[in-house]
Amino acid sequence: MLQAISPLVKSAVACLFVVTLATMPPLSRFYFAELCSHYRVQMAVVGLLFCLLLWCEPQPMLAKYRRLRWRSFAFIPVIIHVMFIVGWYLPGQPLFSAGSGMQPMRLLISNVHTSNTKYEELIALIEREQPDVVTLCEINQNWASALEAVHEQFPYRVVIPRSDNFGIAILSRHYIIRNDVFSLGDAQPPAIEVSIWSDDHRELTIVAAHTYPPVGYQLSNLRNRQLKILGERVSQIGGSRVLVGDFNVSLFSPYYSDLEESSGLRNARKGFGVLPTWPARYRFMRVPIDHCLHSDDVEIRDCRVGPDIGSDHLPLIVELAY
């Protein structure tokens, strides 16, 4: 049976090799190649499976060299993808020190999905995690009404409900000294910038945004422009700052790398892993498109994925200090 499977596996290995090369610069900036780049973890796993199948393939001794050649060929994509993945599991900065005199803060970041009506799941998560700030995407009027249940805990808020999947909100336990609602381009969805004044008299600027999904070439280009606008805006903000939201781009995209470079920020995931968040229902297909980026003077204590709240995204929970 393995002998019958072998030609199919070799054809699949060749396809994986071509796709892997396409996800490398500069080809990765083309639309389909960039879409494939989001799935490096999945391609690494599939590549390992191909290597295993080829290793188990029965071959006569005279074909030993040819068998070794195909195994090596199958392993090349795995090595390439692992090189992009492993860095997210390596320590990125010193751990938070309680004696450092910095202000601790917990953020809960979630795309709640407009059509999701499991409001109680989010409320229960908020009650359990006790975040200082909650940022939400895809808020409609029903969600805005449901959030009144936590108004006492989060009296300071900016809520912009919309029916088109681009409503957005920031809820805070701490006083918001400044807020600005801005557009991600002409006639584009809103984003929010707030400056929070903590109990320890420290200021933190939070920018929350939800960019377009790359469904088609045109929307992909619009998303890239929105990411550019966000990067340029955040780079002009002084002091401690974080950029959060559903950016519809993964850690492995060249356009995500552009965002880090233009904003001067780095991802809170560094040292904690890839932490995929979408799609919540299909574990193997999940990719990390919900993000928290932070300035160098913000230390990350913990970064993890939260439980399913009925949305197509999993929440991201970040503990930081500034």
- How many C-beta neighbours within 10 Å does residue 32 have? 12
| Averaged pLDDT for residues 132-152 | 98
The reply to whether 79 and 104 lie within a common domain is no
Vertex 321 angle, CA 316 and 322, to 5°: 125
| Averaged pLDDT for residues 123-129 | 98
DSSP for residue 147: G
Instruction: Tell the residue number behind the tokens 């400044």, with chain if given.
Output: 178
The reply to whether 123 and 48 lie within a common domain is no
The reply to whether 216 and 287 lie within a common domain is yes
Least confident residue range of 3-12, 45-54, 111-120, 271-280: 3-12
Summary mean pLDDT of the chain: 92
* Domain edge (last residue) among 89, 118, 139: 89
Answer yes or no: is pLDDT of 101 > 80. Answer: no
| Averaged pLDDT for residues 284-312 | 97
The reply to whether 81 and 221 lie within a common domain is no
| Averaged pLDDT for residues 97-104 | 69
Sequence-ordered strand ranges (E) for 138-289: 156-160, 168-172, 175-183, 190-197, 203-210, 241-246, 266-267
The answer to whether residue 272 is domain-embedded is yes
The reply to whether 57 and 122 lie within a common domain is no
Structure tokens at 118: 């499991």
Per-residue confidence at 1, pLDDT binned at 50, 70, 90?
Answer: very low
pLDDT digits over 4-62, tens only? 556 788 889 899 999 999 999 999 999 999 999 999 999 999 999 988 887 776 655 44
Phi, psi for 159 (deg, rounded to 5): -125, 125
User: 19: Cβ–Cβ under 8 A, 6 or more apart, which residues?
Assistant: 36, 43, 77
Answer yes or no: is pLDDT of 166 > 50. Answer: yes
What pLDDT score was predicted for residue 51?
86
Task: Quote the percentage of the chain above a pLDDT of 90.
Answer: 81
* Domain edge (last residue) among 89, 112, 141: 89
Write the CATH number for 233. 3.60.10.10
The reply to whether 169 and 27 lie within a common domain is no
The answer to whether residue 94 is domain-embedded is no
The reply to whether 279 and 224 lie within a common domain is yes
The answer to whether residue 179 is domain-embedded is yes
Element (H, E) at 293: strand 290-294
* Domain edge (last residue) among 35, 66, 89: 89
The answer to whether residue 255 is domain-embedded is yes
pLDDT digits over 244-255, tens only? 999 999 999 999
| Segments forming the whole domain that contains residue 66 | 2-89
The reply to whether 184 and 305 lie within a common domain is yes
* 319 and 302 Cβ atoms separated by less than 8 Å: yes
The answer to whether residue 40 is domain-embedded is yes
Q: Which residues of 110-126 are buried (b: 16+ CB within 10 A; e: fewer)?
A: bbbbbebeebebbeebb
Answer yes or no: is pLDDT of 238 > 50. Answer: yes
What pLDDT score was predicted for residue 60?
53
| Averaged pLDDT for residues 89-95 | 73
The reply to whether 59 and 131 lie within a common domain is no
What pLDDT score was predicted for residue 7?
77
What pLDDT score was predicted for residue 2?
45
What pLDDT score was predicted for residue 186?
84
What pLDDT score was predicted for residue 149?
97
pLDDT digits over 175-229, tens only? 999 999 999 988 789 999 999 998 888 999 999 999 999 999 999 999 999 999 9
The answer to whether residue 219 is domain-embedded is yes
Answer yes or no: is pLDDT of 98 > 70. Answer: no
The residue that leads in pLDDT, 6 or 91, is: 91
Amino acid at site 113: H
Answer yes or no: is pLDDT of 100 > 70. Answer: no
- By CB atoms closer than 10 A (0-12, 13-18, 19+), residue 255 is buried
The domain total for the chain is 2
The reply to whether 152 and 273 lie within a common domain is yes
Q: Is the peptide bond before 104 cis (omega within 30 degrees of 0)?
A: no
The reply to whether 159 and 64 lie within a common domain is no
* 204 and 229 Cβ atoms separated by less than 8 Å: no
* Spatial separation of the C-alpha atoms in residues 60 and 246, rounded to whole Å: 53
